[in-house]
Chain A
Amino acid sequence: MSDFDQSIRKVLDEHGRLPESASTLSDNDDLYDNGLSSHASVNVMLALEDAFDIEFPDSLLRKSTFQSVTAIREALQSLGVVVAPE
């Protein structure tokens, strides 16, 4: 697991109120099916913005952006967050 993905999972653990640690989920597991609520998604959004010093544009403020670790990673990459090579 890359540092980048670890950072995403850390944010999910601290702000996603998931019943189990995000480290037990695969990249493509549906976070909503695993307990991520709409309110917690907002917390995750704010925490990701703080952690990566970005702001999600309105076009990315939708459910699918936070659907999985992969979806979050792709959204961050689309905002220019650089992924360090593994």
Chain B
Amino acid sequence: MTSIEHVEYPTEQALWFGPAERPLVGWLTTPPGELTRGGVILAPPIGQEAFSARRALRQLAASLAARGFVALRFDYEGTGDSSGDFDESDRDRAWVNSIEEATNFLRSLGLVSISAIGMRLGATLTGVAAIERDLHFKSIVFWDPCESGRSYLRELSALEALRREDFQIDQDGAVESSEFFFTKQAASDLRKLNLANAGSGSFAERVLVVARQDRVIPEKLRARLNEENVDWRETTQQEALLDVESYFAMMPTETIDTISAWLIAPSTSCTTFLAPEVATSAVVAHEPGKLSVQEHFVRLGPRQLFAVVSEPVGESRGPLIVFMNSVMEDHTGRARLWVELPRRWAAQGLRCVRLDLSGFAGSSWPLNEPDRPMFDRDWLDDVPTVVQNLNPQDPSNAVLIGLCSGAYVAVESAFSLGARGACVINPPVAIDFLHGADHLASSRRALFRAMAVRLKRLAVNHQWVAATLAHASLAILPSSRFADALSKLSNKGTDLLVFASADDFSPRPRTPFFRSIDIRRLGKSKNYHLEIVPGLDHGMHNAASRAQTVSILERHVLEHFAGDSPLTGLRTPSTND
């Protein structure tokens, strides 16, 4: 088998592994049948690149499993769904540890031959770990490797400086790009990593470097790599994978085939492998003076939606807090806020769930599907499905939280559930238009339903045109007949907190006429709280405004929903809980 188009669908399972005090999240992809050639760990990039590469690494894991390998994708400590924080000290050490833990986990399954694949900074980390920890990899693949943490951060800074005239590079400080923010601490830790200076010794028995055709491999790194028995391949697919907005990232199918074929090349005898029982829950936080937090994976509803429940060990209180993805986001990069907040709030007694909407991350899509729709109508059913499963007694006792398209999903789901609360950040500019179109979609008349499809397409392709049409309707029609979606929701009794980026107000945000319509509309409803945070951009990339937004959101949720009833039966768990 040489093409991933013919890959058999492998078994894929989320699990916890690693030290009990710092558990890591992984996805184990196992081959069909009971034979295996060995194990492979897949070390992802860091930051925004991790998000862009996630689908590709999942596809690579499936491709490897179809060829008889057991593949483990994982999140480094403090990234993705793993425990810990991105901004803690010694991230370089923690991430090297994570690679060692992933390797040890595969060995604990009885796999003898272990190989590793690292992309970008994941390659740097893998190489450093291989030498420092003496991991004895059978094969190692450096996929578009970064020479060092310093070179990686320098590339990010240079890119930002080339895009923005006002950007100031601080070589020893924090690195804030349009997509990601590395604190001074995290950046300082990263700068310690260096693949070219990795000590003497072999990375593995065999080494493959997959280099970008359009990017130079620095001389020092090339010299270090050539000290070993290295195969070199070039790829032209990194540009379309990493140099684009993440949701336009293209699947690097040829590169995946190249890597899979190279790994299988030496004749390796197969051994028997039985899929293990794995841990699906773990205690992820135990801070002094706060409740310990346990997380577990669930699959819910007919689409087997994947979600992670965070709850205090013992009893919880208040409504179920539901976090949902925005377009193409998972729990990596800036979207890790959807991991951090549930843990913080669970430590205050709230039960939270972060949900992968249909087609994202854990809520799998077919592996041979080249691309996902930008917006899937099924999302509007996903949240009610999850809430009804987790809160069967009272599905309305839920607070829904979303950003951008996730905000739209939160609003529509709040309508469906009669939810107690919703906190929406930068809902799409065409939300009123979409809401109206969705109303038409539920009509008994086929003509109206067909019209709804066309209108939604207009909203996706020309959001400002749709937004302007909705604006015009709101300005002309009496509010008693035609209220905007957010006002309607709050008037139904949902406690609503709305964050609005000034840039999202209207097609001409600095035109006083349009802006005044927006502000009057947003400000006139009695039942919701509107927050306009200075500098808040649509994607919440700006670090300062993001921190302020989170602070307001956190205060609102804890004040409004965390004081419902006293906690009872609390206990501090052992790590075996």
Q: Which residues of A contact B218 (CB under 8 A)?
A: 46, 50
Q: A79 near B: Cβ within 8 Å?
A: no
Chain A 45-86 per-residue mask, 1 if CB under 8 angstroms from chain B, else 0: 111001000001010011100100000000000000000000
Q: Which residues of B contact A41 (CB under 8 A)?
A: 158-159, 162
Given contacts A17-B239, A61-B169, contact A45 B158 (CB under 8 A): yes
**What is the CA–CA distance of A63 and B163 in the complex, to the nearest angstrom?**
7
What are 7 residue pairs bridging A and B, where the CB atoms are less than 8 Å apart in the complex?
A15-B216, A42-B155, A42-B158, A45-B158, A46-B155, A61-B158, A61-B162
The 8 A-B residue pairs whose C-beta atoms are closest, nearest first, are A39-B243, A58-B169, A50-B216, A61-B161, A38-B162, A47-B216, A61-B158, A38-B163
Q: Which residues of A contact B215 (CB under 8 A)?
A: 15, 43, 46-47
B155, B161, B171, B239: the one contacting A62 at CB < 8 Å is B161
Given contacts A17-B239, A50-B219, A58-B169, contact A43 B214 (CB under 8 A): yes
Closest residue of A by beta carbon distance from B213 = A14
Closest residue of A by beta carbon distance from B157 = A61
Q: B165 near A: Cβ within 8 Å?
A: yes
**What is the CA–CA distance of A42 and B160 in the complex, to the nearest angstrom?**
10
Q: Which residues of B contact A47 (CB under 8 A)?
A: 215-216
**What is the CA–CA distance of A15 and B214 in the complex, to the nearest angstrom?**
5
Q: Which residues of A contact B212 (CB under 8 A)?
A: 43
Chain B interface size range: 10 to 19
> Which residues from chain B sit less than 8 Å from chain A, CB to CB?
155, 157-159, 161-163, 165, 169, 171, 212, 214-216, 218-219, 239, 243
Expressed in whole angstroms, the minimum distance between the Cβ of B250 and any Cβ of chain A is 14
**What is the CA–CA distance of A24 and B171 in the complex, to the nearest angstrom?**
37
**What is the CA–CA distance of A63 and B234 in the complex, to the nearest angstrom?**
28
Which among B162, B169, B216, B243 has the highest number of chain A CB atoms within 10 Å?
Answer: B162
A14, A38, A63, A66: the one contacting B165 at CB < 8 Å is A63
A contact patch SS: helix
- Taking a contact as CB atoms under 8 Å apart, the answer to whether B162 and A62 are in contact is yes
**What is the CA–CA distance of A15 and B211 in the complex, to the nearest angstrom?**
13
Closest residue of B by beta carbon distance from A51 = B216
Expressed in whole angstroms, the minimum distance between the Cβ of A33 and any Cβ of chain B is 15
Q: Which residues of A contact B165 (CB under 8 A)?
A: 62-63
Q: Which residues of B contact A38 (CB under 8 A)?
A: 159, 162-163
Chain A 18-39 per-residue mask, 1 if CB under 8 angstroms from chain B, else 0: 0000000000000000000111
Expressed in whole angstroms, the minimum distance between the Cβ of A50 and any Cβ of chain B is 4
- Taking a contact as CB atoms under 8 Å apart, the answer to whether B214 and A42 are in contact is no
Q: Which residues of A contact B162 (CB under 8 A)?
A: 38, 41-42, 61-63, 66
A39, A45, A58, A61: the one contacting B239 at CB < 8 Å is A39
Q: Which residues of B contact A56 (CB under 8 A)?
A: 158
Expressed in whole angstroms, the minimum distance between the Cβ of A77 and any Cβ of chain B is 20
**What is the CA–CA distance of A28 and B310 in the complex, to the nearest angstrom?**
59
Closest residue of A by beta carbon distance from B151 = A46
- Taking a contact as CB atoms under 8 Å apart, the answer to whether A46 and B216 are in contact is yes
Q: Which residues of B contact A39 (CB under 8 A)?
A: 159, 239, 243
**What is the CA–CA distance of A53 and B145 in the complex, to the nearest angstrom?**
20
Expressed in whole angstroms, the minimum distance between the Cβ of B177 and any Cβ of chain A is 11
**What is the CA–CA distance of A21 and B52 in the complex, to the nearest angstrom?**
30
Closest residue of A by beta carbon distance from B161 = A61
**What is the CA–CA distance of A42 and B163 in the complex, to the nearest angstrom?**
11
Expressed in whole angstroms, the minimum distance between the Cβ of A13 and any Cβ of chain B is 11
**What is the CA–CA distance of A58 and B155 in the complex, to the nearest angstrom?**
11
Q: Which residues of B contact A37 (CB under 8 A)?
A: 243
**What is the CA–CA distance of A14 and B163 in the complex, to the nearest angstrom?**
21
**What is the CA–CA distance of A16 and B537 in the complex, to the nearest angstrom?**
30
- Taking a contact as CB atoms under 8 Å apart, the answer to whether B159 and A14 are in contact is no
Q: Which residues of B contact A50 (CB under 8 A)?
A: 216, 218-219
Closest residue of B by beta carbon distance from A11 = B216
Expressed in whole angstroms, the minimum distance between the Cβ of A16 and any Cβ of chain B is 8
Expressed in whole angstroms, the minimum distance between the Cβ of B478 and any Cβ of chain A is 48
